Amino acid sequence: MFRIEAAELLLVRLPLKFRFETSFGVQTEKLIPLLVLHGDGVQGLAEGTMEFAPMYREETIAGALHLLREVFLPRVLGHTFANPEAVEAALGTFRGNRMARAMVELAAWDLWARTLGVPLGTLLGGRKREVEVGVSLGIQADEAATAEVVRRHVEQGYRRIKLKIKPGWDVQPVRAAREAFPDIRLTVDANSAYTLADSGRLSALDAFDLTYIEQPLAWDDLVDHAELQRRLKTPLCLDESVASAADARKGLALGAGRVINVKVARVGGHAEARRVHDVAQAFGAPVWCGGMLESGVGRAHNIHLSTLPNFALPGDTSSASRYWETDVVNEPLEAVDGLMPVPTGPGIGVTLNREFIARVAELDEEHRA
């Protein structure tokens, strides 16, 4: 049992250390909402991964903050819960808005784990002490720049290289990376930039021995992905189009993909992420943990989730120092030779860098029952 006594909503803006270009556009900073739940003398932390504008999925930071203040937090503040699944159930009557609801559920998991004094991964059923890490590389200026940025990250030991692609910039960077590094585990991510009419262009990627092509078609589509998968040898990986375990079951049953990217916020929290993991495992489909340029709070949650057994492919939980000069947490989250150690402290195993947050916070408010 644990009680949620109070909550803090924080909003920080962090500059990225590099220009990150995808099919959505260019990103040079990240606006990050943080939630702190207080209870039983401990704190539970969570991070929102929705964007300022609805580019990835339909949720936005402004909408999430409104729902947290006016709807979701009033449902849980002042209440005692048997476990985080009970928190999930308390919010389960609301449709959609999974990323906003996930902030409450994730913070509840962290709060519960800290109350019990055990690492979050242990409560989720994970066994690993370190997890394999890949890296996601944005669109570069040309093929030579692509080969160079791949080289730097291969030398750093990352176990998978993922290239962002878009129409008109797909075969070229993949060819450059594969010719320079014939043996690396290589993938691409289209972020829904293509249509089924582009299947000829996408089939050209079959020549490069990719582990998978991630979410090439529409963010809310499974049917066209199934048709595209029939036309390709390379496995498709579903990301944006899987918002629940039910979506995962339908996608795998349809043959819309053979791999699933699990983003814990996209599916509404750890409980549903674990269900997605279990469904994929039943189909014999591996999963991996996707990233959303998280700060240390979200990164720590991702690392603990990745300790579950069917997270069989390297995730996007690369070193925090790739992204930030200063992180919002005190503990370093750094991979060594492509392996990220799992934080061993209670809960997610990190604590807020309150001094730094006070300097960069654009919002800091407290809520009580």
The residues carrying an active-site annotation are 164, 263
Sequence letter at residue 74: P
User: Rounded to whole angstroms, how far apart are CA atoms 21 and 166?
Assistant: 10
The answer to whether the CB of 292 falls within 8 A of the CB of 49 is: yes
Q: Which two tokens stand for residue 345?
A: 């402290």
Q: Which two tokens stand for residue 294?
A: 């998280």
Provide Rg for the chain, Cα atoms. Answer: 20
Instruction: Say which residues have a Cβ less than 8 Å from residue 187's Cβ, sequence separation at least 6.
Output: 134, 160, 161, 162, 163, 210, 211, 212, 213, 214, 237
The full length of the chain comes to 369
The answer to whether the CB of 82 falls within 8 A of the CB of 24 is: no
Count of CB atoms within 10 A of residue 82's CB? 11
Q: Which residue is associated with the tokens 């093929």?
A: 143
User: Rounded to whole angstroms, how far apart are CA atoms 24 and 10?
Assistant: 26
Instruction: Specify the 3-state DSSP secondary structure of 261.
Output: strand
DSSP strand pairing (287-289 vs 259-262):
parallel
The answer to whether the CB of 104 falls within 8 A of the CB of 91 is: yes
DSSP-assigned letter for residue 72 = I
> Across the strands, what pairs with 366?
8
